[in-house]
Amino acid sequence: MKNHIKMPVFDADATTGKGFGDLPEWDLSDLYPAPDAPEIARDFTALEETCAAFAADYEGKLAGLDAAGMLECVLRYERIDLLAGRLMSYAGLRYYQNTTDAGRAKFMADAQDRVTVATTPLVFFTLELNRIDDAALAALFAANADLARYKPVFDRMRAMRPHQLSDELEKFLHDQSTVGAAAWNRLFDETMAGLEFTVDGEAMALESTLNLLTDPDRARREAAARELAAVFGRNLRLFARVHNTLAKEKEIEDRWRKMPSPQHARHLANHVEPEVVQALRDAVVNAYPKLSHRYYALKARWMGLDKLEVWDRNAPLPVEPPRTIGWDEARATVMEAYKGFSPDLAHLAEPFFDRGWIDAGVKPGKAPGAFAHPTVTDVHPYIMLNYLGKPRDVMTLAHEMGHGVHQRLAAGQGELLSSTPLTLAETASVFGEMLTFRRLLAQAKTNAERKTLLAGKVEDMINTVVRQIAFYDFECKLHEARRGGELTPDDINALWMSVQAESLGPVFNFMDGYETFWAYIPHFVHSPFYVYAYAFGDGLVNALYAVYEESPEGFEEKYFDMLRAGGSKHHKDLLAPFGLDASDPKFWDKGLSMIARFIDELEAMED
């Protein structure tokens, strides 16, 4: 069931959201008119009744169904998924608009409880399907083409066969999920949303303070970094407790399921082979010296510094004039870039701006960062931003719009086949960013403007590739260490610092307190090992874009076919039309070489 929101969060931005024009807000009425609407009560009742009826009709009987009967069963299951997804999408989106509102928090928690209880009778479905013999299932697919279309759904379920527990244990895990990881996730979200930081006498939330790390004033950046460290430090025992508990819970479930590694469940969910992820990780780590180490040494020279401090990492360049970009300009920039690639792409993006599908402003209690949530296939996606008029905010809009367009195209696959694995879910988003960047670069009027754009893109790519793989290594170390016992805050701090110098390079000093900065990264809490998907997506898109530049003829049609496929095909099948193969270790070097070439160009621009 789609009972959670995927919430990618970036290393960035937010203050007040004023002065950028008329920022759009969500209109959630396409899901439900209001939190007390009778349609919500109706759908909860319908969900409970349809789940009970489904179990009564099918439990203990799946192995005896013919092809037509199995198809009807799958279609009924899909309709239930649609109903539960609509309820939880509405509850979740309202909550993320203001995570400190007790009423919204209660509404989401109650909805989660009701959906969990209602869907408990469905736990048998996956368990029984996985007990059907391979040959018997293959015969059903051969007998009915409409059923065979759902084969990828069955394949994903059956990937868990070696790790399946007894029916009773699976039902127990399903029932207790709302007081397990989900409860700790809420505690983390609400704690983060409620933190207050004071910089130069001004009280602000997390996003506002992180935004100051990109301020042109170095003293203000330092003050923000030190205040972040101080506040994280005061709350570190709580964050350590959250991570210890979640890592231990995962270790227990992984042990019972006989998972070979803490990362394995994520690889299964992403439909990607562990060796492919390892090849990606190794390629990026081996490239640290020619990417991040080289770029940050260059940046230090631009800034006239022997050493960079952590508050200089995302600092604007000295040649970069401070610039605020209004919402209308941001919209026009992204839409023109999308239209330049394909008018159809721009047409798919347009409703987001005009129909209340974007929530852009920074507001008290609003979740940090940005995401695109697909909701359900008979509605549409919603995009959340914290827009502050920075050039990076325009890139974030381009990124999330890519997700939204991808989700709209994949919706044609239906509820069970539309969801794209995380490794491929970043494809359209990163491609949208690249289109926008290339358009801006082509329009640059001076060398200084071109240098600023190139440096910004390199920093974004380093944040997406180098930084996320360093995050992945930190998680691997954290979960491995937790298997040996409880971790103190100092233990976790040490693991964090063990990946920082390696990934960022010798040009950095690390202030006292930076060791606590693991505390605010939500992916570690919400989605363990999610982060490598960003690097996967960036590398994949760099390779795709190289194909586009070399032979644009016919590329658009193949690209749209890939997005429309959603989760119906494996990454090998999706990339084959482009002549690409992510299982080839050289594939990742191709993507990383694009970043290196941008750094080459920046080095050549030095006076």
Neighbours of 607 (CB within 10 A): 3
Report whether pLDDT(3) > 60.
no
Which range, of 174-183, 298-307, 347-356, 522-531, averages the lowest pLDDT? 174-183
What is the tens place of the pLDDT at every residue in 487-517?
999 999 999 999 999 999 999 999 999 999 9
Of the two residues 582 and 320, the one the predictor is more confident about is: 582
E strand residue ranges, 442-593? none
38 confidence band (pLDDT: 50, 70, 90): very high
Average pLDDT over residues 33-40: 97
Q: What are phi and psi of 373, to 5 degrees?
A: -105, 125
Could you tell me if 73 and 62 are in contact, meaning their C-beta atoms sit under 8 angstroms apart? yes
Nearest Cα residue to 161 out of 55, 258, 275: 258
Which range, of 24-28, 194-198, 535-539, 554-558, averages the lowest pLDDT? 535-539
Report whether pLDDT(9) > 70.
no
Q: Which residues contact 375 (CB under 8 A, 6 or more apart)?
A: 31, 85, 86, 89, 93, 381, 382
Tokens of 312: 């200089």
Average pLDDT over residues 155-159: 89
Report whether pLDDT(355) > 90.
yes
CB-count exposure of residue 369 (10 Å: 0-12, 13-18, 19+): buried
Of the two residues 296 and 389, the one the predictor is more confident about is: 296
CB-count exposure of residue 290 (10 Å: 0-12, 13-18, 19+): middle
- Inter-CA distances, 89 with 369, 385, 470, Å: 18, 17, 31
Which range, of 13-22, 265-274, 301-310, averages the lowest pLDDT? 13-22
Provide the pLDDT for residue 319. 73
Provide the pLDDT for residue 320. 65
Q: What are phi and psi of 431, to 5 degrees?
A: -65, -40
Report whether pLDDT(472) > 60.
yes
Provide the pLDDT for residue 10. 32
Whole-model pTM?
0.82
Provide the pLDDT for residue 307. 97
Provide the pLDDT for residue 357. 98
Provide the pLDDT for residue 19. 64
Average pLDDT over residues 462-480: 96
Average pLDDT over residues 575-585: 88
Average pLDDT over residues 257-279: 92
Helical residues (DSSP H) of 486-554, grouped into ranges: 489-504, 523-526, 532-550
Distance CA 254, CA 270 (A): 17
Report whether pLDDT(295) > 60.
yes
Tokens of 287: 């490239």
Report whether pLDDT(90) > 70.
yes
Neighbours of 233 (CB within 10 A): 16
Average pLDDT over all residues of the chain? 92
> What single DSSP character describes residue 359?
E
Average pLDDT over residues 115-139: 94
What is the tens place of the pLDDT at every residue in 161-219?
888 888 888 888 888 887 888 899 999 999 998 999 999 999 999 988 998 999 999 99
All domains of the chain, ordered by start, with CATH? 31-159 (1.20.140.70)
